Structure 1
């Protein structure tokens, strides 16, 4: 019986293994667990966020390399040159689709801060900056790109003003030293530079009176209000409501970054940014809103449908590998269905064969009883006892076959009695 079972099952198992090997040739290999992220300067918020991503990703066995840059414009170029997989980019820098760049998510608001010297007058309109010395951010930064657009629309150029391209640190110091009149800075509200300048009585922040107008003109921007005392109630910072114009921080990626890496990256992004913040409600970020760029397929799937059924049960990489191997399940199920269909009859046959074998022994003994000698009857009796031990102690019969089992035991006892009766007759005759 065992030989028959192996004779049937081994070829089927070999066929299943062969189908797995053949099908696996058509499946993409698991991606290399490495990501390169273009951030910004080490003093900026992009770098701070990237460090958080890096910590979480490395817990998931992904090697992360961070590239420090001058900002959004340089980050975009790194994506195009395939020197970075993912990059932080200020919304609005790219205004149309790029073949080699895809949109992953908006992750938080990035207000535009315009600080100027406190010369005992208040600036309410950007046009009042004409003839001033203005720092608009370093070359390659998103701040420079946005500031240039806004200043040009207000008629402020190098012909009527002095426009400098300086980094945040240098701009801040020159503003404090009175060497420039104003500086533009696009960054989060919790930036150290923002807090220091808001606390300084010699520096004012421009409350943009026409913030909503700018928001309508530039579709990628929104008007926000920083209310009095929001940043520090004790020090009352700021000391009045401030109308701000805000863009948002975007994450962009190359289209050839493996879907598994994109998905697990977005899981960490969501973990970092889904919490409530000063300008956003819980789960407002990350999102796919307010972009003209092509949205990454995996990002759209993840933010629309969330975790897959497999991800809710298994750790990510196990779920991912199962998902990748789902193509192998088609030939496997095709082969297993007839195999399982044949297992039950085979099992039935194997159970019955045991009972039939015992009946065969009993039948053979029964046919010889009438002509057997006393010695042969004693031998038959010993065989019956051994058979009884084998049936009761050494063989486990499933409950579904107990009917046949008890019939066998009755017949076994019947043969024992028949042997005993025959033995008694022979003894009497002697």
Structure 2
């Protein structure tokens, strides 16, 4: 009787389960993102500009989480857009002026929301109030440098108001040169898209004879062009002592878009969304310690983007906050565990039923082997007959010995001992039948 024996069929069963789990791991791994990159690049603008300072704020947040955010200096929005559209540029994130592009022009870009206002300032000479752009017909108008964000917006709004190169003198010029153009009388009006604290804007406010246009049609422009918003500059807010502006002034403003390539790693997209929430949750102050205009805490990010689809990972973070693991663990550890969990879920899902099935697989394999020897025994018994020759009967006995030896060599666990002995007893029954037939053989 076999007692303690090794059971190769058990290892076969275990191997089948292990192979199934390994296959599940491999299939799942095809859908799991690789580890997030250690360095990503954001296209901003030149140093000491609002775009660059904003990128620096995000850079500090990334650094605190072990990721390098490299800032690439550019000439501003249109170059940023070009870099984002070029997969070989190495730029993953960019800051764009609202209104210069949309998913129609750049289908591979996704929005992280709008992160600041960029007011459009229209200064003009003269004592007669200008409240509609159509009043600028026949004037010499500074429209910003060709290819820049100011030029793009100025030309769009002027055209919508019936002001073209045929009805006015449109002068492309870099914004810092506006001061000289107004001082020397070379311009009657000028468009600027700049932050309120920009040096050029502040100097134009102080220039004698210049006035800031109040848009009587501000609501209409924001309705026609969804990337625009109406802003109200209250009386005296620029300079209370000199009462600048002298009355409440309606402005239109673009909303700065923070966009990413849709191929950006989801973990980096989520981290950027966290950076946006953190940066824009704190008040912003100018060098004098006063709160910046149009920078109220809680205003940004604006997730309703009229031009780019919001990134799914950004939407999740803005709605529910960081994932559970990223709230309590370092970024690299949280992402590692999240990726590992994706692999483990299907494995656990297979392992639980496999643990239930495995105990039944092994008995089935043992019974299958015993049934194999029973089939061999029946074949020998079925071939016995009264006409068998002595040589044939001798062969039958050798077949029975072979079956008996095969059974003895087969590892049979203790709980199958009864079937083991029953099979050997049945072999003896067939042997006795051969012994009865043998004297009758000729």
The Cα RMSD (Å) is 3.1
Aligned to 2:264: 257
- Alignment equivalent of 1:34, drawn from 31, 39, 44: 39
* Deviation at residue 244 of structure 1 after TM alignment: 0.5
Structure 1 segment 211-290 matched on structure 2, within 5 A: 211-275=218-282, 278-279=293-294, 281-290=296-305
- Equivalent pair of 2:142/2:173 in contact (CA under 8 Å): yes
Aligned to 1:100: 108
| Deviates further, 251-260 or 153-162 | 153-162
Structure 1 residues 135 and 320: alpha-carbon distance in aligned structure 2, compared to 1, 3 A threshold: same
* CA distance in structure 1 between the aligned counterparts of 2:201 and 2:68, rounded to whole angstroms: 33
In the alignment, does 2:347 pair up with 1:329? no
- Alignment equivalent of 1:293, drawn from 305, 308, 332: 308
Q: Deviation string for 1:342-387 (max 9, x for gaps)?
A: xxxxxxxxxxxxxxxxxxxxxxxxxxxxxxxxxxxxxxxxxxxxxx
- Equivalent pair of 1:74/1:141 in contact (CA under 8 Å): no
| Deviates further, 234-243 or 274-283 | 274-283
- Alignment equivalent of 1:319, drawn from 331, 334, 344: 334
- Alignment equivalent of 1:66, drawn from 68, 71, 87: 71
- Equivalent pair of 2:103/2:109 in contact (CA under 8 Å): no
SS at match of 2:267: helix
- Alignment equivalent of 2:176, drawn from 169, 172, 186: 169
SS at match of 2:195: coil
Structure 1 residues 139 and 60: alpha-carbon distance in aligned structure 2, compared to 1, 3 A threshold: farther
Structure 1 segment 385-396 matched on structure 2, within 5 A: none
Q: TM-score, structure 2 length as denominator? A: 0.67
Structure 1 residues 260 and 180: alpha-carbon distance in aligned structure 2, compared to 1, 3 A threshold: same
Q: TM-score, structure 1 length as denominator? A: 0.68
Aligned to 1:144: 151
Return 5+ residue gaps in structure 1 as ranges: 1-10, 342-430
Aligned to 1:44: 49
Aligned to 2:121: 113
Structure 1 residues 327 and 159: alpha-carbon distance in aligned structure 2, compared to 1, 3 A threshold: same
- Equivalent pair of 1:143/1:185 in contact (CA under 8 Å): yes
* Deviation at residue 87 of structure 1 after TM alignment: 1.2
Return 5+ residue gaps in structure 2 as ranges: 1-13, 284-291, 357-442
SS at match of 2:327: coil
* Deviation at residue 181 of structure 1 after TM alignment: 2.1
Q: Deviation string for 1:57-115 (max 9, x for gaps)?
A: 22323223323333322221211112221111122222453322222210012111111
* CA distance in structure 2 between the aligned counterparts of 1:43 and 1:225, rounded to whole angstroms: 26
Q: Deviation string for 1:178-214 (max 9, x for gaps)?
A: 3222221112223232222223333211111221121
Q: Deviation string for 1:255-300 (max 9, x for gaps)?
A: 1111111111221122222346643543221021141322212112
* Deviation at residue 334 of structure 1 after TM alignment: 6.1
Q: Deviation string for 1:139-179 (max 9, x for gaps)?
A: 33222111111111222222222212222212333223432
SS at match of 1:292: coil
Aligned to 1:54: 59
Aligned to 1:387: none
Greater RCO (CA < 8 Å, at least 6 residues apart): 2
* CA distance in structure 2 between the aligned counterparts of 1:274 and 1:89, rounded to whole angstroms: 21
Structure 1 residues 173 and 301: alpha-carbon distance in aligned structure 2, compared to 1, 3 A threshold: farther
| Deviates further, 251-260 or 293-302 | 293-302
